[in-house]
Structures are given as structure tokens and as C-alpha cells.
Amino acid sequence: MSDLASAIGIHSEEAALISELKAGSEEAYAWLIAQYNHPIYSLVYRILGDAAEAADTTQEVFLKVFRGMRNFNGHASLKTWMYRIALHEASNRRRWWFRHKSQEVTIEGDTREAAGEQGGTALKQVLADPRDSPFDSAAQRELRARVEAELRMVSEPFRTTVILRDIEELSYEEIAEIMQTSLGTVKSRVTRGREALRKRLEKFAHELGFSGEREAPAGAQWNREVAK
């Protein structure tokens, strides 16, 4: 009963927020950006792998949200609707990148890519334990960078599904709503995505000493390391 009351309360709060957004409330829009800018950027960055492109795309996502708010029908939650827009914009930007940028050769190419990866790691370092030794911090950075790099090599739609579940920590139901697919399909993609990532990280896990009686972490565990 308490869960039902809580769900009703959350729905009422969201309905009130949506009404304010549709009315053009600047305070409501400011709250929306403060609440979702970080998770939307995090999701987009992991799809694009480039900090500058992720920042531009995140801005475009919020522009689409603001422009489309009057037509928002409430068939999905506000959160999953925004994530769906983010996935769509990131996928479009990624396709554009491959068509145009892949043919460009500049002296800054490798440097920019490295900076993008370091930027993603630095974003998570804000939450790092200050008591870690320099060695521990370096090891954590290496682990996160490796997992990030291997995760980008997992094929779609498994990669995005794993990101939404294990890093963004969305429920299976939310992911199904965002990706507009069935619950069973989401669970299957998560399982296959985790397994694909685990296989890609087997050699690295062995280097870290996960062998024999020490079992290598599963995909979800690796992904939670990235999200710390």
C-alpha cells in the first residue's frame, strides 16, 4: 500500500512539473537541467566517446525537450522520454561523425580522442575516495579507462542496453520504455551485452590476477567500477 501511495505521489509531482514546463516556467526548466544534465551527458558521452561532441549533443537534447514539451502526451514518464530523445540524438550524431569525421585526418586526431577518454574518466574521479594512495588511484583510472574502451567495442544494441542498466542504473521497465521494446528483449540484451564485455576483458582480468580460484568480475561488476 505504501508503494502505491509513493507511486501516486511521484506521478502527481511529475504531472505538476510537466504543467509548469508546458506553461514556460523558467524555474521548472532550470530545475530540469540541473536534475538531468549530468545523467544525459553521461549517457551521450558513452555513446559518442568524445567530450566536445557529447556536450554539444546534450545541449541539443535539451533544446528538443523544450521545443517538444507542449506536445508531450504523458504516455511515457518524463525521464524515459528525455532518455529516448538523448539516444536518438546521440545515434544521429554518431552516424554523422562516421560519415564526415572519419574521413578527416588531422594532427590533433589522436590527441582529441585521448582527451575525450580522459575527460570521461575525470568526470567520475570527482567521486573517488580521497584516501586512495597514488598507486590505487592510478590503478582505478587504468581499470575505468580499459572498461570504457572495451565497452565502446560492444556492438549495438547490447552496448546501449548495458549502459542504461549497469551504469545509468535504470530499471528494466524504464529501458524497455526508452528503447521501445519488450521487457524480455531488454533482459536478453543485458545478458548478452555483459557476456560480450566479459569476454573482451578476460585478458585484462588475467593481468590483474583474476585467474584460477579467483573468478573474474561479471560484466555488471566491471560496469559498476566505471560508474563509481
Which pLDDT tens digit goes with each residue over 4-59?
Answer: 344 445 567 888 889 999 998 999 999 999 999 999 999 999 888 889 999 999 99
User: Could you tell me if 119 and 179 lie in one domain?
Assistant: yes
Domain extent at residue 221: 108-228
User: Could you tell me if 127 and 228 lie in one domain?
Assistant: yes
154 compared with 116, residue with greater pLDDT: 154
Please tell me the distance from the alpha carbon of residue 217 to that of residue 166, in angstroms, as a whole number: 13
Average pLDDT of the segment spanning 109-114? 42
pLDDT band at 85 (very low <50, low <70, confident <90, very high): very high
Q: Per the structure block, which three cell numbers stand in for 180?
A: 521501445
Q: Evaluate if residue 138 carries a pLDDT over 50.
A: yes
Q: Evaluate if residue 215 carries a pLDDT over 60.
A: no
Pick left, alpha or beta for residue 130 (phi over 0 → left; psi -120 to 50 → alpha; otherwise beta). Answer: alpha
Please tell me the distance from the alpha carbon of residue 142 to that of residue 9, in angstroms, as a whole number: 43
Q: What pLDDT, on the 0 to 100 scale, is given for residue 124?
A: 41
pLDDT, tens digit (0-9, with 9 covering 90-100), for 48-75: 888 999 999 999 999 999 999 988 887 7
pLDDT band at 132 (very low <50, low <70, confident <90, very high): low
Please tell me the distance from the alpha carbon of residue 150 to that of residue 200, in angstroms, as a whole number: 6
Chain-centroid distance of CA 20 in Å reads: 27
CATH number of the domain where residue 36 is located: 1.10.1740.10
174 contacts 79 by C-beta, under 8 angstroms:
yes
Identify the helix (H) or strand (E) that includes residue 210.
none
Q: What pLDDT, on the 0 to 100 scale, is given for residue 113?
A: 43
45 contacts 51 by C-beta, under 8 angstroms:
yes
Please tell me the distance from the alpha carbon of residue 64 to that of residue 68, in angstroms, as a whole number: 6
Q: What pLDDT, on the 0 to 100 scale, is given for residue 110?
A: 44
pLDDT band at 115 (very low <50, low <70, confident <90, very high): very low
Q: Per the structure block, which three cell numbers stand in for 167?
A: 551504469
Share of the chain above pLDDT 90, in %: 42
CA distances from 177 to 53, 54, 85, 150 (A): 26, 23, 12, 26
Pick from 74, 104, 134: which residue ends a domain? 104
User: Could you tell me if 144 and 53 lie in one domain?
Assistant: no
User: Could you tell me if 132 and 228 lie in one domain?
Assistant: yes
User: Could you tell me if 135 and 175 lie in one domain?
Assistant: yes
User: Could you tell me if 43 and 21 lie in one domain?
Assistant: yes
User: Could you tell me if 73 and 147 lie in one domain?
Assistant: no
User: Could you tell me if 120 and 228 lie in one domain?
Assistant: yes
CATH number of the domain where residue 195 is located: 1.10.10.10
CA distances from 11 to 8, 40, 105, 197 (A): 5, 21, 50, 36
User: Could you tell me if 82 and 119 lie in one domain?
Assistant: no
User: Could you tell me if 137 and 34 lie in one domain?
Assistant: no
Name the DSSP letter for residue 216.
P
The helix, strand and coil proportions of the chain, stated in percent and rounded to the nearest 5, come to: 80, 0, 20
Number of domains in the chain: 2
Q: Per the structure block, which three cell numbers stand in for 121?
A: 574518466
Q: What pLDDT, on the 0 to 100 scale, is given for residue 102?
A: 52
User: Could you tell me if 48 and 118 lie in one domain?
Assistant: no
CB neighbourhood size of 202 (10 A): 12
Q: What pLDDT, on the 0 to 100 scale, is given for residue 148?
A: 85
Q: What pLDDT, on the 0 to 100 scale, is given for residue 41?
A: 94
Pick from 50, 85, 104: which residue ends a domain? 104
User: Could you tell me if 123 and 221 lie in one domain?
Assistant: yes
Q: What pLDDT, on the 0 to 100 scale, is given for residue 74?
A: 78
Give me the DSSP letters along 12-34.
Answer: HHHHHHHHHHHTT-HHHHHHHHH
Average pLDDT of the segment spanning 76-81? 90
Pick from 55, 70, 104: which residue ends a domain? 104
